[in-house]
Amino acid sequence: MRPDRILSDAAKSPSAGIVRFEGVGLRYGQGTEILQDISFALPGGSFHYLTGDSGAGKSSLLSLMYLARRPTRGRIEMFGIDTTRMNHAMLPRVRRRIGVVFQDFRLLDHLSTLDNVALPLRVAGVRESEIARHVPELLNWVGLGGALKTRPPLLSGGEKQRVAIARAVINRPDLLLADEPTGNVDDRIAQRLMHLFVELNRLGTTVVIATHNEPLIRRFPYPRLHLAEGGLALHPASGASPAEA
């Protein structure tokens, strides 16, 4: 096995993973495999960065985790369920346990900020009275309390990003996947958002953040899954402890 395709410690103990990849490969169409023999496991309550150059496959790896596509080969387990054997009807139940922050936000432009953030709650059948209580509270927390009725086209990039993050965390997911969640915000907001992720992690959410932001990685040190040449390597945390950040 190539040194950059190592298994994480968690992957060596199969029962531990909330996310578990075994020999996963992914290719688009007839092209070469963008991900090759990816094997790792993320223990429940862990916090990892996902790093790699542009085009290394970070977004593709995340998309496999949030079940937007199936691998070309290999096996993926989410929350102990083999997703390669999962039928269509089972997908929503698993997806409701995953919060996703997309790089391009993927907000619904015709809905207000409040309705965008409320979406995961509404599809899960949460009562409107609860939505009316929780969503403004979270939006206040991310600094968008004054934009509840504003639609995404009228928001700045950083504001959209915060809406996307609020939508991903509103239902306290078991797994949070974020693709460059601090890419469009200033340093102060980035730190605030990182504190939100750290707090969610402290409450038990497993977090995976794809990022290029090295200063942030140093300030909030957690283990890093690094993608290069289609393979995945695990690097331990380095730098100050998250508590110090």
Binds another protein (CB under 8 A): choice among 53, 82, 108, 238: 108
Sites for another protein among residues 154-213 (CB under 8 A): 167
d(CA 107, CA 140): 18
What would the two tokens of residue 44 be?
Answer: 């429940």
Least separation in angstroms between residue 47's CB and another protein is: 22
Nearer to another protein, 170 or 190 (CB): 170
Least separation in angstroms between residue 109's CB and another protein is: 7
Nearest to 200 by CA among 238, 173, 235: 173
Phi, psi of 75 (to 5 degrees): -140, 135
Check residue 2 for interaction with another protein (CB under 8 A): no
Grouping H, G, I as helix, E, B as strand and the rest as coil, residue 163 is: helix
Nearest to 224 by CA among 77, 48, 38, 61: 48
Least separation in angstroms between residue 108's CB and another protein is: 6
What would the two tokens of residue 89 be?
Answer: 């009807």
Least separation in angstroms between residue 43's CB and another protein is: 23
Check residue 100 for interaction with another protein (CB under 8 A): yes
Sites for another protein among residues 27-86 (CB under 8 A): 66-70
Q: How does 188-225 read in b/e, with b if 16+ C-beta sit within 10 Å? A: ebbbbbbebbbebbeeebbbbbbbebeebbebbbbbbb
Check residue 226 for interaction with another protein (CB under 8 A): no
Binds another protein (CB under 8 A): choice among 2, 12, 93, 202: 93
Binds another protein (CB under 8 A): choice among 81, 123, 132, 228: 123
Chain residues that interact with another protein, rule: CB under 8 A: 66-70, 88-89, 91-93, 95-96, 100, 106, 108-111, 115, 119-120, 122-124, 167
